[in-house]
Amino acid sequence: MRHPESSRLSAAIRQELAYVRTQLKSLGERGSHQRFELRQIAKATLAAVLAWLLADRFLPRETLWIAPATAVIMVHATVYKTLTNGLRKVAAVAAGVILAGSIGHLLGLTAFTLVLVVPPALVAARWHRMGRHGTDVATTAVLMLSFGAASQERYLLAYVMATAIGALCGGVVNSTLWPPLYRRRPDTAIERLSGEMSALLDDVAGALRDGWDLSSLPSWRHQTDRLDEHLAEAAATVADSAESRRYNLRQRHKPDGDEHVQLLRALSEIGVHLHAIVRALAHLDHQNDLAATPDDLSDHYARDYSVLLELIADIVTGRVRPAGVAESVDSGPDAFARAHAQADHIRDQMTAQIQAGALDHPRGWAISGSLLTDAERILNILATLRTPA
């Protein structure tokens, strides 16, 4: 009999080997994240070597390590971050050195010296212009005092120079050799979002096609929650893409970045109405004590509404996509016309029943009106989008 620990170990090994195979396979794909990371590792290594060679030529031996260490952390994911963080890093280190040198030169390292150095260093660290490198002011000042170097002007100057050399090497390498430019990531994020929204609409439509089957409500709630997470991720991706174009030598012309922002805004608004549809169905399910067929709404309405959701799902798939991405389904005027015709059909049916005095279940009428309104608002949002080029 095979031991459980042995089985778990074998499964873990297989999982790790599968992960390694996936990573190696992705290295062969053009524009993959793995290729990007490999280039960044190579650039960080090159920047560290260059920084060491320059520092070894011009600076004292005891400060050489600072240059390659700074160069490595300066190879950021965007050129803009490399340049701005490089300047902030050098400024923060210089401020810490000046603070430690001016006070340590007079008083040396004592508890009273730390009282005089740490508070102003932390105040400077909180200046918004310093960004995440603000803490380098305090750490550099304390390190200089702790090493007893605060009174050694030559070492302090070499420390600042080594930091500057590292930042310069990291900035030059990352800005000139394959500078990071995220052209495809926003497209991928938006396509994934629109696909998930379309899948959710199709799932709900499939459940309502033959009546009020609300057994998948937990799954729909999970899908809407996941949509919120992916919306936040997509927003960050679009922001990173816009930032990657700043000061980038590969970006010869400024693209229309408003397209991604417009699509993301539309997806965010559609997500609000998808939440509302799922909440309305959840309320209906709760009120009917998990009954498969609510008494307040007819199966005929459920079938008609499922057709409307399927039409909207197709439009989302075809309409919410970046320019240049192939259209997978019809999302043109004919698709909108069919969806609007279906919505009008549902409204006409409701109007006819109201005129006939069929108002026995007011709660059901409220929910049906809410469901139809949210579906129509999604259609209106989609109609405001430009047809992708």
Query: Side-chain half-sphere of 43: how many Cα atoms within 13 Å?
Result: 26
Give how far Cα 68 sits from Cα of 31, 46, 75, 81, 269, Å: 28, 10, 11, 18, 47
Q: What is the pLDDT of residue 293?
A: 41
Contact between 221 and 282 under an 8 Å Cβ cutoff? The reply is yes
**Cα gap 162→167, rounded to integer Å:** 9
Q: What is the pLDDT of residue 388?
A: 47
Report the candidate in 265, 200, 188 with the shortest Cα–Cα distance to residue 226: 200
Q: What is the pLDDT of residue 68?
A: 93
Give how far Cα 359 sits from Cα of 198, 299, 362, 369, Å: 33, 16, 6, 13
The two three-digit tokens of residue 29, written as one number: 């794909």
Q: What is the pLDDT of residue 220?
A: 93
Q: What is the pLDDT of residue 389?
A: 38
Q: What is the pLDDT of residue 290?
A: 40
Look up the pTM and report it.
Answer: 0.71
Contact between 27 and 35 under an 8 Å Cβ cutoff? The reply is yes
The two three-digit tokens of residue 235, written as one number: 């927003």
Report the candidate in 144, 157, 169 with the shortest Cα–Cα distance to residue 69: 169
**Cα gap 331→315, rounded to integer Å:** 5
Q: What is the pLDDT of residue 256?
A: 52
**pLDDT tens by residue, the chain, 389 residues:** 456 667 777 777 777 777 777 766 666 666 667 778 888 899 999 999 999 999 999 888 888 888 999 999 888 878 888 888 888 888 888 888 888 877 777 776 667 777 788 888 888 778 777 777 788 888 888 887 776 655 577 888 888 899 999 999 999 999 898 888 887 888 888 889 999 999 999 999 999 988 888 888 999 999 999 999 999 999 988 888 888 888 888 775 555 557 888 888 999 999 999 999 999 888 876 555 444 344 456 788 889 999 999 999 999 988 776 655 545 555 567 888 999 999 999 888 888 776 665 555 556 677 888 899 999 999 999 988 865 43
Q: What is the pLDDT of residue 249?
A: 80
